[in-house]
């Protein structure tokens, strides 16, 4: 089948299914799955082999079923690093890119990092790539996720990451002394809210990556219980957790903390530093 005909057919099927931006979605799939250039897509005269027509049809079916585009494409760029994605791992979000960019800007001189709950390895790979002098320890409770993360590190030629399987900070307990900076985007959605999430999220992304327990704080509760003194910590959070997190860290000795907003204006990040680096403990007024 000629590319032009296949393109028209795919766009029509997405339109009939009520999927937005059908033209740009199909063009993206043509580039990613058929390896066609912009001009080949515009001209449309290339003959697409039967096998690739079948793979395009499969991709369109999956989109119509409601699967997220990033899973169908199977990869995503995260701060310049290409990440393979499948439904064992959360699709990395732009807010997490914002968090990692802040870490890169503020921790240029640090050398030992940890990415706890690494998922696809997004945070670990971006840190290891942008701060190439550094060493990164990455861990996750999901073995399937760790497999994806290790493949992503290898594909990007990042030999400065080591991966560990295990729960929360316990997975890295042998290395906590040498780790200077801990970054984490853990599961933080309240269990009761999972039902109301978009079907694209709740139906396809791993529950282990989303479910933060009844108050959304299960992971953080365990994390702060075992956080040693003297680390610099960068966490992604939900805005509704600000009060709960402030209460959780209140008993921590020798730490100061602050919350920061993301690009959309929501409190999305919590930072902790050893006392003296920041001026005081800060919880935003509600
Ligand atoms: C929100 S996803 C974040 C993934 C990745 N860091 C990112 O930003 O795209 C949370 C990750 O935490 C992992 N996880 C859940 N509970 C955990 C635990 N108790 N200890 C370690 N990892 C955990 C999940 O398997 C999942 O990969």
CA of 177 to the centre of ligand 1 (A): 22
253 pLDDT more than 90: no
Residue nearest atom 12 in ligand 1 by C-alpha distance? 117
| Across 121-143, average pLDDT | 98
Among the ranges given (89-93, 101-105, 240-244, 276-280), the one the predictor scored with the smallest mean pLDDT: 276-280
**Closest ligand 1 atom, CA of 236?**
8
Residue nearest atom 7 in ligand 1 by C-alpha distance? 92
162 pLDDT more than 90: yes
267 pLDDT more than 70: yes
277 pLDDT more than 80: no
pLDDT band per the 50, 70, 90 thresholds, residue 200: confident
For 203-225, how does the pLDDT look when each residue is reduced to its tens digit (9 = 90+)?
899 999 999 999 999 999 999 99
127-150 exposure pattern, b = at least 16 Cβ within 10 A, e = fewer: bbbbbeebbbbbbbbbeebbebbb
CA of 61 to the centre of ligand 1 (A): 29
Pairing of strands 81-84, 75-78: antiparallel
Q: Which of 87, 93, 119, 145 to mutate to test the pocket of ligand 1 (most atoms within 8 A of CB)?
A: 119
The beta strand positions in the chain, using DSSP E, are 75-78, 81-84, 112-116, 135-140, 161-165, 181-184, 232-236, 255-261, 267-274
Whose CA is closest to 258, among 224, 231, 229, 235?
Answer: 235
Instruction: Verify whether ligand 1 is closer than 6 Å to residue 129 (CB atom).
Output: no
286 pLDDT more than 60: no
Averaged pLDDT score across all residues of the chain = 95
278 pLDDT more than 70: no
**Closest ligand 1 atom, CA of 210?**
1
CA of 15 to the centre of ligand 1 (A): 35
| Across 45-66, average pLDDT | 95
| Across 46-75, average pLDDT | 95
pLDDT band per the 50, 70, 90 thresholds, residue 281: low
48 pLDDT more than 60: yes
Q: What is the pLDDT of residue 275?
A: 86
Residue nearest atom 13 in ligand 1 by C-alpha distance? 117
**Closest ligand 1 atom, CA of 92?**
9
pLDDT band per the 50, 70, 90 thresholds, residue 285: low
For 62-119, how does the pLDDT look when each residue is reduced to its tens digit (9 = 90+)?
999 999 999 999 999 999 999 999 999 999 999 999 999 999 999 999 999 999 999 9
CA of 121 to the centre of ligand 1 (A): 10
Whose CA is closest to 186, among 169, 203, 165?
Answer: 169
Q: What is the pLDDT of residue 201?
A: 87
d(CA 55, CA 131): 38
268 pLDDT more than 90: yes
Instruction: Verify whether ligand 1 is closer than 6 Å to residue 142 (CB atom).
Output: yes
Q: What is the pLDDT of residue 105?
A: 97
Provide the whole-model pTM: 0.93
């Amino acid at each position: 089948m000629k590319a032009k005909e296949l393109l028209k057919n795919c766009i029509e099927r997405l339109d009939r299914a009520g999927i937005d931006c059908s033209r740009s979605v199909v063009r993206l799939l043509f580039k990613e799955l058929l390896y066609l250039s912009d001009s080949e897509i515009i001209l449309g005269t290339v003959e697409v082999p039967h096998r690739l027509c079948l793979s395009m049809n499969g991709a369109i079916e999956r989109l119509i079923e409601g699967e997220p585009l990033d899973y169908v494409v199977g990869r995503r760029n995260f701060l310049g690093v290409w990440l393979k994605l499948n439904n064992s791992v959360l699709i990395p979000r732009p807010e997490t890119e914002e968090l990692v960019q802040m870490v890169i800007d503020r921790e240029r001189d640090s050398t030992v990092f940890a990415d706890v709950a690494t998922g696809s390895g997004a945070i670990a790979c971006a840190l290891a790539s942008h701060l190439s002098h550094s060493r990164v320890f990455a861990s996750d409770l999901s073995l399937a996720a760790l497999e994806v993360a290790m493949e992503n590190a290898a594909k990007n030629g990042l030999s400065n990451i080591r991966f560990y399987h295990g729960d929360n900070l316990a997975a890295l307990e042998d290395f906590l002394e040498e780790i200077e900076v801990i970054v984490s985007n853990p599961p933080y959605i309240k269990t009761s809210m999972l039902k109301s999430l978009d079907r694209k999220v709740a139906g396809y992304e791993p529950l282990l990556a989303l479910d933060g327990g009844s108050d959304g704080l299960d992971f953080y509760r365990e994390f702060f219980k075992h956080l040693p003194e003297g680390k610099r910590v960068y966490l992604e959070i939900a805005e509704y957790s600000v009060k709960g997190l402030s209460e959780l860290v209140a008993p921590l000795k020798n730490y100061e903390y602050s919350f920061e907003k993301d690009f959309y204006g929501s409190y999305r990040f919590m930072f902790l530093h050893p006392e003296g680096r920041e001026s005081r403990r800060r919880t935003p007024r509600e």
